[in-house]
Amino acid sequence: MSFLVLDRLTKRYDAHHAVRELSLAVEQGEFVALLGPSGCGKTTTLQMIAGFVQPTSGRIALEGRDLAAIKPSQRGLGIVFQSYALFPHMTTAENVAFGLEMQGVAKAEREQRVGDVLAMVGLGQLADRFPRRMSGGQQQRVALARALVIRPRILLLDEPLSNLDAKLREEMQIELRQIQRTLGTTTILVTHDQSEAMALADRIVVMNKGTAEQIGPPHETYEWPATPFVAEFLGKTNVFSGSSDPARGVVIVAGNEWPVAAPTAGAVDVTVRPERVRFASVDGHGIAATIKTRIFQGNHWLYQAVADGRTITIIQQNAGGVNPVEGDSVRLDWNSDDMRIRPSREIVS
Amino acid sequence: MTGEAQPASALPAVAPERPSRAPYYLVAPACLLFIAIVLVPIAMTVLLSFHDWGQYKGIERVFILKNWREVVTDSYFLEVFVRTFRIAVLVTLVCAVLGSIEAYILNRMGSPWRAIFLVVVLGPLLISVVARTLGWALLFGGTSGVVNQALIGLGVLSQPIPFMFTETGVVVALSHVLMPFMVLSVWAALQRLEPQVESAAASLGASQGTILWRIVLPQIAPGILAGAIIVFALAASAFATPSIIGGRRLKVASTLAYDEFLNTLNWPLGAAVAVLLLIALVLIIVSANRLVEWRYREMFR
C-alpha cells in the first residue's frame, strides 16, 4: 500500500470536470510534481488533498486511512501557498510557532524547533521581523519554515516559486530540493513550469483537462512522451507528418527514409526534439530547409528553419564549430532512435 | 533638448529650484470655504463662551470666566457630560461587537445575497436620522407604541417597556443609527484580508474559533478601532436621536447646549458647553488615533 493514494478522484463543478478520474500512488519520501497548464485541475487536486475542496467522487487515502471525513485542520499536512499566506500581524518566529502552538507543543521545545527550522531556511537573523518588511524570497522561506516545522506527513507546494524572479527561483529550487532530500518529507508540488517540475520532482504527473496524461520520472516523460500533449508541453518539439512502410522497415518524412524496426503501418506523426536535429551535408540524407532565424543563447544556438512552409526548431550546442547563418540552405537529419512515431492524427493547437 | 552634448547639466538646473504655485491656487477655494464655515464660527463660539449674559441685559461683550466656572463646577453639567460619554462608550461597544459580526457574515455571503444585504445594511443611511429615530419611538413610545400595544394586548406585559426617556432607549436607537459606519469600516478591513491566510491557519491545525480569534480579529482590529472612533465621535455629538428619545428629561451635552441657546437664550453658557464638548472629543479622538497607530505601526507600513 502506497503512502498516499488518490483513487479515481473526480471534482465536478456543474457540467465542468475540474479533475476527472485521477489515480495516483505516492510513496513515502517521494517528490511528485503535478504539472500542467492553468485550468488543468492540478490546483484543485492539491486542494482536495489538503481538504479545502470536497471531491465529487473518488477516494484519498493517507497511510491507508480515508481522508474524506477528516477536516483540513486534522490532516497534519504542511502547505506553502502561492501567495505565501503569512500572518501579517505576527513576526517570523510567531508565524512559524503557530502550528506548534496548535499542536500544544511546550514553549521550550517550540522555541527550539522554531530556531532550528529558521536556521535551516537561512532566516535565523530575521525571527523578529514582520512579513510586510521582508522580500518575496524571505517571505517564501518563512512560509516553507512554517509548513515544515510541524513535521507534516505531506508537504504540499502550490506554485511556491512563481512569484520570485528567475535567479532567485533557481536558487530556491536547489534549496528546496536539498531540504526535501534531508528531511525526507513526502512532497507534492503544483506547477505550470516544466523546467521546475523536472528539476525538483522524482516523478511528474502531466495533467491536461482534469486527467493525468502521463505519470513518470522527468527524463522518461521527456524522452518518451505518452501523448502529443505531453511532447509539446514538456519542452520544445518538432512534429512532422510522414508515412511508414512496414514491409521495408522504414518511415518516410519529406522524401527521406529512416530505418525503423517494426513501424506502425500508414500515415504517422513523427516528433523529434530540437536538440536531436543536426545539420547534415547539403547533398546528403535529410530534409532540405532554409535558415530563417538564428538566436545566440550563450551555451547554444537556437535556429528556426523553414522546409515546405513548415517551421522547424533546432538547438545546436555552442561547441565552437562553424554554424550556418540566416539564409543558408541546409539539410536536417537525425538518428532513427530520436524519432517518436505515432499513428497520424490531426494536431489540435 | 537641442541634441547638443550637455544634457546632464541642463536638466536639473531648472526643475527643482522653482516649485509651481498651481497647487496653492487649486486648494485656495476649498481652504477659504473651510475657514469661512468651520474655523470662523468655531472661533466666534469660543469668544462667545467668555461673554456675560443676564435675564434682562442680554449678551454683554465682555471677557469673563463666569460661564466656564459654572460649567466646570456645577454638578449638573458634570452629570450631563458623564451621561454623554457613557452613552457614547456603550453605543461604540454595541456597534463594535454587532457591527464586526455583521460585517464578517456579510463578507462570507455568496454572490447575490452579499450585494442585497449590503444594501439592507447601508440603506438606512439614505433615510433621515429623525425618521429612523421616530421609527423607534413609534414602536416603543409608551402605551401607544406598536410593540408595547401588541405585547400588552397579548398579555405578555402589563406595563410598556421603558424605552422613551431612558438611557437604554438612547443607546439602542443611536447604535442602530450609527451601525452602518462600523460595518463599512470593518468591511473595508475584511476586504484587505487574504482568503488563503485562513486556509493556512486551518492547515496548521487551528479550529474555526481559533482562526477567528487569533488570525481574523487581530487583522481587522484596526478597522474596528477606526470604526469605533467614528461611531464614538458621532454618538457623543449626536443631537437628533437623544433629543427625540431622551427629550428634556434625559439631556446630553448637545441637547443641553441647544436648550441653553434656544430656550434659556443664554448663548454664552451654551457656547461654553459646546466648546467643552468639542475639546473633550478632539482630545479623546486624537489620543485614540495615536494609540491605534502606535499599536498597529507594523501593519500600517
Is B18 a domain residue? no
- Among A230, A259, A286, identify where a domain stops: A230
Return the C-alpha cell found at B113: 445575497
Chain B residues closer than 8 Å to A87 by CB: 197, 200-201, 215
Sign of CA dihedral B264, B268, B272, B278: positive
Amino acid letter for position B101? I
Rg (CA), chain B: 26
Nearest CA in chain B to A74: B205
Is B246 a domain residue? yes
Count, residues in chain B: 301
Pairwise CA distance, residues A285 & A256, whole Å: 7
Is A349 a domain residue? no
Residue A133 touches chain B, beta carbons under 8 Å? yes
According to DSSP, the residues that pair with A314 across neighbouring strands are A303
A67 plus A142 within the same structural domain: yes
- Model pLDDT, residue A226: 87
Binding-face residues of B in 39-58 toward A, CB within 8 A: none
- Model pLDDT, residue A110: 95
A219 plus A245 within the same structural domain: no
According to DSSP, the residues that pair with A206 across neighbouring strands are A35, A214
According to DSSP, the residues that pair with A203 across neighbouring strands are A32
- The alpha carbon torsion through A114, A118, A120, A124 (nearest 10 deg) reads -130
Residue B10: what are its φ and ψ, rounded to 5°? -70, -40
Q: What residues make up the domain containing A247?
A: 238-343
Residue A230, class by beta-carbon neighbours within 10 Å (0-12 exposed, 13-18 middle, 19+ buried)?
buried
Is A302 a domain residue? yes
Helix (H, G, I), strand (E, B) or coil at A290: strand
CB-CB neighbours of A73 under 10 Å: 18
Cα distance from A80 to chain B (closest Cα, Å)? Answer: 8
Cα distance from B217 to chain A (closest Cα, Å)? Answer: 10
Residue B301 touches chain A, beta carbons under 8 Å? yes
Cα distance from A91 to chain B (closest Cα, Å)? Answer: 10
Is A348 a domain residue? no
Q: Are B67 and B59 in contact (CB under 8 A)?
A: no
- Among A206, A230, A254, identify where a domain stops: A230
Amino acid letter for position B27? V
Alpha helices, DSSP H, located in chain A: 42-50, 92-103, 107-120, 136-148, 166-183, 194-200, 218-223, 228-233
| Model pLDDT for residues B231-243, shown as the tens digit of each residue | 999 999 999 999 9
> How many domains does the structure of chain B reveal?
1
Q: Which long-range contacts (CB under 8 A, 24 or more apart) does B293-298 make?
A: B296/B221, B296/B222, B298/A89, B298/A130, B298/A132, B298/A133
Chain B residues closer than 8 Å to A83 by CB: 194, 196
Residue A89 touches chain B, beta carbons under 8 Å? yes
Q: What residues make up the domain containing B210?
A: 75-295
A52, A88, A130 member nearest B219 (Cβ): A88
- Model pLDDT, residue B38: 93
- Model pLDDT, residue B2: 44
Instruction: Look at residues B229, B226, B233 and name the one whose alpha carbon lies nearest to residue B254.
Output: B233
Residue to substitute from A47, A80, A87, A113, interface B, most B β-carbons within 10 A = A87
Cα distance from A274 to chain B (closest Cα, Å)? Answer: 41
Domain of A62, CATH number, reads: 3.40.50.300
Pairwise CA distance, residues B296 & B301, whole Å: 9
Pairwise CA distance, residues A180 & A26, whole Å: 15
| Model pLDDT for residues A265-282, shown as the tens digit of each residue | 788 888 899 999 988 887
Chain A residues closer than 8 Å to B215 by CB: 87
> How many domains does the structure of chain A reveal?
2
Asked if B298 lies within 8 A of A89 by C-beta distance, the reply is yes
A179 plus A322 within the same structural domain: no
- Model pLDDT, residue A257: 86
A98 plus A245 within the same structural domain: no
- Model pLDDT, residue B1: 41
Residue A70 touches chain B, beta carbons under 8 Å? no
Residue B4 touches chain A, beta carbons under 8 Å? no
The complex scores an ipTM of 0.81
Whole-number Cα distances in Å, B248 to A238, B71, B116, B136, B296 = 90, 19, 39, 17, 42
Is B278 a domain residue? yes
Low-confidence residues of chain A: pLDDT under 50: 347-349
Helix (H, G, I), strand (E, B) or coil at B53: strand
A310 plus A264 within the same structural domain: yes
Q: What is the mean pLDDT of chain B?
A: 87
Does B272 have pLDDT greater than 90?
yes
Domain of A275, CATH number, reads: 2.40.50.140
Helix (H, G, I), strand (E, B) or coil at A22: strand
Residue at grid coordinates 450631563: B80
| Model pLDDT for residues A178-232, shown as the tens digit of each residue | 999 999 999 999 999 998 999 999 999 999 999 999 999 999 999 998 888 898 8
A104 plus A172 within the same structural domain: yes
Residue A88 touches chain B, beta carbons under 8 Å? yes
Binding-face residues of B in 209-238 toward A, CB within 8 A: 210, 214-215, 218-219
Does B4 have pLDDT greater than 60?
no
A76, A86, A89 member nearest B299 (Cβ): A89
